[in-house]
Every structure is written in structure tokens, then in C-alpha cells.
Amino acid sequence: MMLAKADMRVLSALASLETNEEFRLVTDWLNTSLAELHYATPSIKDEVLLRWQQGASQMLHEFLSTAKAARSVVRR
């Protein structure tokens, strides 16, 4: 886990942003960035850069997963 666990306030904020067109633009950009990281990572030979890429990928994935699941978690 790279990010601290989101509390209910953060999840509620993410859930309310879900329908915001500008936030959707940001999450689309983050998803594209994540895909580019996944595509580029296998070709990286430098161990330090590889670890940075993996860390960035994990963080983006964690944030996007949390944002996507926020509404269902808040509803429970």
C-alpha cells in the first residue's frame, strides 16, 4: 500500500466528484498515464528507474481503484 487508507470523508468527496466532468477528464488522463507506464516499464533496464516506474504505476492504480470504488463503499 502506497497511499494511506481513505477515510469516509475522502471516499465521500471522491464519490461526489465521480460525476464531475472535469474530474472525469483528470481520471481519464491518469488512466492514460497508467497505461503508458505499463507499456514502457518492461523496456527499462535501469533498476532505479524501473522501481520508480513500478511505484508510480502502483500509486496511480491504487488511487484510481479507490476513486472508482468510493461510491459503493460510501453506500454500505
Sorted by where each begins, the domain ranges of the chain are 21-75
Whether 13 shows a pLDDT value over 80: the answer reads yes
In tens, the pLDDT along 22-75 reads 999 999 999 999 999 999 998 999 999 999 999 999 999 999 999 999 999 999
Check residue 2 and give its pLDDT.
Answer: 76
Task: Compute the distance between CA of residue 56 and CA of residue 4 in angstroms, rounded to an integer.
Answer: 15
Whether 1 shows a pLDDT value over 70: the answer reads no
Q: What is the pTM of this model?
A: 0.86
Judge whether 62 and 1 are in contact, CB under 8 Å. yes
